[in-house]
A and B are shown apart, each in its own frame.
Chain A
Amino acid sequence: MSEPQEIIPIAKHDLVGIVADLFADGHRLVQIGCSTLTDAYELNYSFDKEYRFRNLRVTVTPGEEIPSISVIYPNAFLYENEIHDLFGVSIRNIAVDYRGTLYRTAIRTPFSIDNVKLPEPPKQKVQPSGDSPVSAKVPAGMSEQQKD
């Protein structure tokens, strides 16, 4: 099964307007998720209408505040409180704001950039040029002694 899924990056200031359009068009809010990047947070707002799945993606830096969409979708308050408590993302004007008490964890914001260890992506293999083979560990033009 391969369900067509759209991921649409948008700016923070466009979020509420686009979400209001989706609500007027009859979309339901499926979920709001957050992923930790190296130096930012990626929020996915997922919507569905008649099994057509689309995501709005907003990237925010630590300390940056984003507006709540719970004024449009009342059920968004739980997701937004969860993101605030686990990731430390500031969301203003949440309809029911638990102020950090929805998830009572031993360490604050356990999914934040400071606490999450992201996996290292695999090293890119250097493409060989000409006839001389080049090791992936030693960039072309550098000797074994110089690589250290």
Chain B
Amino acid sequence: MAHKNIIPIGPQHPVLPEPIHFDLVTEDEKIVDAIPSISYVHRGLERLVEKRDFLDFVHVADRICGLCSFMHSMGYCQAVEEIMGVEVPQRALYLRSIWAELSRIHSHIFWLGVAADAFGFESLFMQAMRQREQVLDIFEETTGGRVILGVCKVGGVRRDISADTLKGIVKRLTKLKKDLEEIGSVFINDYSVQHRLCGVGFISREDAYTLGCLGPMARASGLFIDMRALGYAAYKFLEFEPMVETAGDCHARCLVRIRENYHSIDLIRQAVDKIPEGPFAVTVKGVPDGEYFSRVEQPRGEVIHYVKGNGSRFLQRFRVRVPTFSNIPAMIRVLKGAEIADVPNIILTIDPCISCTER
């Protein structure tokens, strides 16, 4: 008869990038249940709207998370702009899309490296981090920051990028694409990687939809859910398509992220070709009085920024629902029936961002 054990994982674990705890109920090597536990990095950022003017709060939104920094500030700004009826200049929309896609590329490359580290492929992890530095260099040259960009503001963006710099970015990303193809081919074709990822952590399309899966985790199970289809920022002017796989396992999630990297490089090239001249910000007058749910596609999935103002300079409510929060129930379902040795890979394939989850 199988003997039941409870094995705790986290909050401190070599494989976990951020603190989250799981109590895994196991029978021999198989997991029969998983109970997540969070609140190790809950900062109560949502209540800071009481003390920060709505224009200044974008700096707090930037700091909800390091990897998703720009998308948080963009989602927040979009919500406030929608409430106030601010018409953001087209050039600013294109610049936001370029920075957003660069954020997606650097986040996915970071994930690829961390996933390689999780199944013990240290050299692949090092190579991925080395490729990621090219994107961080672009961030530093265009915004002054490598991780927290601080470049989005209500009414537009704080900095412009010159035409020469934009062309230079496209050249560097073309070179990066070749480098990414090298490490991507290892994820796709290497026997040992396939052995660790194929058939592991399967979730069906129906379960993924019912359990609220988002982002690459949903798209790896055949769901066409990508908020860029709404056409926010400059996406309505770009030829965009969601990258979808159907296998529904860890390897499919890996493939989705690799393909999204290439697609993001193409979106940036399109944006640079089409970006119009003109102002990159407008002066914002007045205060927000109303509410709006802004939806943005972060690297991990759909993020909701709910903003409610009552006509004062301090917002009444700011709520963030991040994709990792929505993916946790699906991850629990995937963990059930898995082997103990596969737990790190499964946890990492939702690309957990716990600082976003807990705010």
Contact = CB atoms under 8 A, between A and B. Distances in A.
Question: Do the two shown chains form a genuine complex with each other?
Answer: yes
Interface of A: 1-3, 5, 7, 28-31, 33-36, 44, 46, 51, 53, 55, 73-75, 77-79, 96, 101-105, 110-111, 116-122
Interface of B: 35, 37-39, 42, 44, 46-47, 50, 78, 82, 209-212, 229-233, 236, 287, 291-293, 295, 302, 304, 306, 308, 310-317, 319, 321, 325-326, 328-330, 358
Contact of B304 (A28, A46, A102): A46
A121 B295 contact: no
Contacts of A31: 304, 321, 326
Given A35-B308, A35-B316, A121-B312, A78 B325 contact: yes
For the residues of B in contact with A, the DSSP-based class is mixed
A99 to B, nearest CB: 13
Given A53-B293, A73-B210, A119 B321 contact: no
A148 to B, nearest CB: 24
Given A51-B229, A119-B312, A103 B38 contact: yes
A46 B314 contact: no
B212 A75 contact: yes
A104 B328 CA distance: 18
23 contacts: A1-B78, A1-B230, A3-B232, A7-B291, A29-B212, A33-B321, A34-B319, A35-B316, A35-B317, A53-B293, A75-B329, A75-B330, A77-B329, A78-B329, A101-B37, A102-B37, A105-B42, A111-B47, A116-B47, A119-B314, A121-B311, A121-B312, A122-B287
Contacts, number: 97
A87 B287 CA distance: 27
A104 B21 CA distance: 13
Contact of A120 (B38, B211, B233, B312): B312
Given A30-B321, A46-B304, A111-B47, A74 B314 contact: no
A33 B39 contact: no
A28 B230 contact: no
Contacts of B358: 103
B33 to A, nearest CB: 10
Contacts of B326: 30-31, 75
Contacts of A75: 210-212, 326, 329-330
B230 A5 contact: no
Contact of A44 (B35, B50, B306, B329): B306
A33 B319 contact: yes
B76 to A, nearest CB: 15
Contact of B315 (A1, A117, A119): A119
A110 to B, nearest CB: 6
A74 B210 contact: yes
Contacts of A121: 310-312
A69 to B, nearest CB: 12
Contacts of B35: 96
Contacts of A3: 230, 232, 295
Nearest to A72: B210
Contacts of A73: 210, 212
B71 to A, nearest CB: 15
A27 to B, nearest CB: 10
A34 B233 CA distance: 27
Given A28-B209, A30-B302, A105-B44, A36 B325 contact: no
A30 B316 CA distance: 22
Given A1-B78, A35-B308, A75-B329, A105 B211 contact: no
A30 B304 contact: yes
